[in-house]
Chain A
Amino acid sequence: MSDTVKKEKSMILQKEMIGGLFKELGNTKESGKKVVYTFVPGNLSELIRSFDMLPVYPEINALQSGMRKMSGDYIKEAEKWGHSEDVCTYVKCDIGMMLKGNIGPTGEKIPDPDLLLLSYTGCFTFLKWFENLEHLYPGVPVALIHTPYQENGEITAEMTDYMVKQLKNDVIPKMEKVSGQKFDPDKLKTILQHSADTEDLIAKIFDTTKNVPSPIDAYFAGVYYIGPINIGFRGTPEATEYYKELYKEILERVRLGLGPVTPEGEMEEEKYRLVVEGPPNWTSFREFWKLFYDMGAVIVSSSYTRVGGVYKNGFRHDPDRLLESLSEYCMGCYTNLNLNQRVDLLGEEIQEYKADGFLVNSIKSCNSFSAGQLLIMRTLEDKLEIPVGFIESDLVDPRYFSYSNIKNRLESFFQMLEQRKIMVD
């Protein structure tokens, strides 16, 4: 496997943005900027930015630790602290990282939070995670916003009203107190306009997989593409610029009829088009990806890239409905959809993007995704008569990534896809 990754301009831009954020975080003592810990799904990045505060996403720290092969030690540290082997490894990785000094990916210490903003969308474990953080950071205020689940497959006016009231009554006053700034609706309005522009671009980018060959991999590369919006840049001009550049690069690939860029260069032949459900494994990310591109498999859509927002269905942040729009965003994230909605969304994408197969990467740590996946898989198999595959791994616990097991299962799955192609042809 090559050790060097081919860099495109958008990649460099992204690296600069993320590096800049961590630098800014490392500099908060001097700048006086306040720090808000929060989560990706249902994140209120725009609101945080409107108070000139900086976001920290513990699950991003955890996944980066996984990619840097540091999560194993952090998890063990949290287990020494009393956590069970059975529980979410994102939580343990984050807590272990904190117990070991909270050093971020750029080698700088991530500052302690000034506010714990718990917008728990679609994941009950987030609630428990922040209870642990509250215990670890005694005295830090907690703003909790409860996002109602779309149990009936819809967002009702009552649900939105419930969230708006929580924003007004609890979240915004706490942000005002921590930041020392009054809530500025005009400022938020400008930020939300940037968000909407960015979301338009993201929707277009992920829609390019309609092309054959697909110019991008919507899972393995997709996680990089959603990086800037999921790490707090949604609503910034930099994010819009990044996505414009990325979209331009992808359109050029379409024009040239090129397939996705992989860590080992361009993929030459697209043999299989897949839709994938579930987050990736981070500890062996490149080996995991290689298993796919070596077989000519391209992911044309993935549910994971929608945890930070589902834009395909037309949702955009609306500068004219500030708090309502933030609320609807939170409620619309993928893991806040009920199982029927998830089946419908995945089914539409399998058809729209002409996928040859559907694969579940079932993650030990993530019940929000995993509970029900087997039924989702069987339902799609019956409904669309499409080959389905199932593999298991974990987010950031290296003990739960079995390369040979996954490889065996994927080989069987690809054989099934090959056989079906022969039958169909």
Chain B
Amino acid sequence: MPNLKELADKCENLAFDLNFTEAKSWKAKDSKRVIIGYMPVYFPREIIHAVNGLAVGILGGGDRKQIVVGDAYYQSYICHIPRGIIEMALSGHFTGFDGFVFPSICDVIRNLSGMFQMSKIGQFAKYMDFPQDFNPEIGGKFYIQEMDSVLSKIKEINGVELTVENLNRSIGLYNKNRKLIERIYDIRQSYPWRLSAVDTYHIIRAGMVIPVEEHNEILEQLIEEISKEFGDPMDKIKVVVTGAFCEQPPVSLIRTIELAGCYVVDDDFMLGSRWLQTQVDDTTDNPKLALSDAYLNYSAFSSSVYDVGNPKSKRLIELVKRRKADGIIFAAPSFCDPALLDKPIYNQECDKAGIRYINFQYHENIGQFKVIKEQVGAFSDSIKLWDVEA
């Protein structure tokens, strides 16, 4: 069995393989297999898996892809991720992808679906409208229609019909995946020195580009490794990082947070992989309904959803308490309306709850971390030195 370092290295290579070699090799083994790219945040990957497909997460080029033509598609005041995605699309990274799904999150990602349609990238580019109505008879029904729309497009490509049995099986696999990921976060809450935030990031992100069966195997091996006693705690505070659910921070930024004196005990970097906070029923006659019910009732809180009467700030504060974190780092991409428009509310509710926090903005290919390191370091020191409960 590979050791921790080998697992982490493997996942780093997978996570940042911008040519999606593993996914394409997987597809090459069967002519009826399809690859469907999806953008952040959440997409029910189970439905793709159940029709002989692989849902591959697309998070842009980060700091590993130079933008040449992408900037010609976007004005300077639009966030960075779509220009990275269009750059990748136009330079052949998605060759072999059959279709693309753009879940509703913001106007930029929505309009990116139109740009894919206009540029005829893939056999289909579907904007998937997630309901903001949480009544199963209304929003639930609409959500199932949206899932059906994606399935019909895939059926046109590979002719595979969805069956109850297959979808239940896929749901079971993704249930296991979410459970294993949460187990890793639970272990890290108590023993964060056993697995760095950067390695955690690589390991979870790798799951967006390989079959769930393989990812589950990696996660099981990893859990076995980090369940062993090793290492010693360092004098660091525990933080929750939030705001980074779409355009990803460069890995060096996550490393900077750690080096500046923080253990990241929870985050929303890979929120889509942890979205459903329940085990979806995988024994039902109507698995699409089960997925829909899980979405309506057990979604993670997110800037892309307005759950009237169930404020996100309350849920964030609950998370901080559950993770026994000392504070929150609000790290949002520049020009990200969803994350940035949530920030004042979060900040004010944290003030009321007596939770310490800092804010900063980044973009996916930021290269200077000194200021952030100083800010995070001062934040960490202030809690360690002055917080009586620290």
Contact = CB atoms under 8 A, between A and B. Distances in A.
A371 B107 contact: yes
B361 A372 contact: no
Contacts of A339: 111, 114-115, 117-118
Contacts of A127: 132, 306
B354 interface: no
A142 interface: yes
A399 B31 CA distance: 56
A146 B132 contact: yes
B78 A371 contact: yes
B299 interface: no
A411 interface: no
Interface stretch (B4-12, B36-44, B137-145): B137-145
Contacts of A146: 129, 131-133, 139
Interface stretch (A15-23, A129-137, A194-202, A250-258): A129-137
Chain A contact patch, size range = 35 or more
A229 interface: no
Given A124-B110, A367-B111, A130 B306 contact: yes
Interface string B79-112: 0001000000000000000000000111110111
A84 B340 contact: yes
Contact of A83 (B77, B112, B344): B344
B345 A135 contact: yes
Contacts of B107: 123-125, 367-368, 371
A86 B348 contact: no
B117 A86 contact: no
Given A125-B341, A132-B345, A371 B74 contact: yes
Interface string A364-385: 1001101111110001000000
A371 B105 contact: no
B308 interface: yes
A149 B132 CA distance: 13
Contacts of A343: 118
Nearest to B344: A82
Contacts of B277: none
A341 B207 CA distance: 36
B355 to A, nearest CB: 15
Interface in A311-354: 338-340, 343
Contacts of A392: 75
- B: contact size bracket: 35 or more
A149 B127 contact: yes
A362 B75 CA distance: 8
Nearest to B114: A339
Given A146-B131, A375-B118, A370 B75 contact: yes
A151 B113 contact: yes
A87 B120 CA distance: 31
Contacts of A373: 75
A124 B337 contact: yes
Interface string A109-152: 00000000010100111011111101100000010111011010
Nearest to A162: B142
A86 B339 CA distance: 11
A151 B132 CA distance: 17
A82 B343 contact: yes
A371 B117 contact: no
A335 to B, nearest CB: 8
A57 B329 CA distance: 34
Contacts of B340: 83-84, 86-87
B137 A165 contact: yes
Contacts of A375: 73, 115, 118-119
Contacts of B72: 374
Contact of B335 (A86, A135, A340): A86
Nearest to B334: A86
B242 interface: no
A417 B73 CA distance: 24
A91 interface: yes
Nearest to B116: A339
Contacts of A170: 133, 135
A128 B341 contact: yes
Contacts of A129: 341
B279 interface: no
A30 interface: no
A338 B114 CA distance: 6
A88 interface: yes
Of the candidates B72, B73, B348, the one having the most CB atoms from chain A within 10 angstroms of its own CB is B73
Contacts of B117: 338-340
9 contacts: A84-B340, A118-B306, A120-B132, A165-B137, A169-B138, A338-B114, A339-B111, A339-B114, A371-B112
Given A91-B341, A367-B78, A375-B115, 15 more contacts: A82-B344, A83-B341, A86-B77, A87-B340, A123-B107, A131-B306, A151-B110, A166-B138, A170-B133, A338-B127, A339-B111, A339-B115, A343-B118, A371-B74, A372-B112
Give 7 closest A-B pairs by Cβ, nearest first: A339-B114, A82-B344, A151-B127, A128-B341, A371-B111, A146-B132, A372-B111
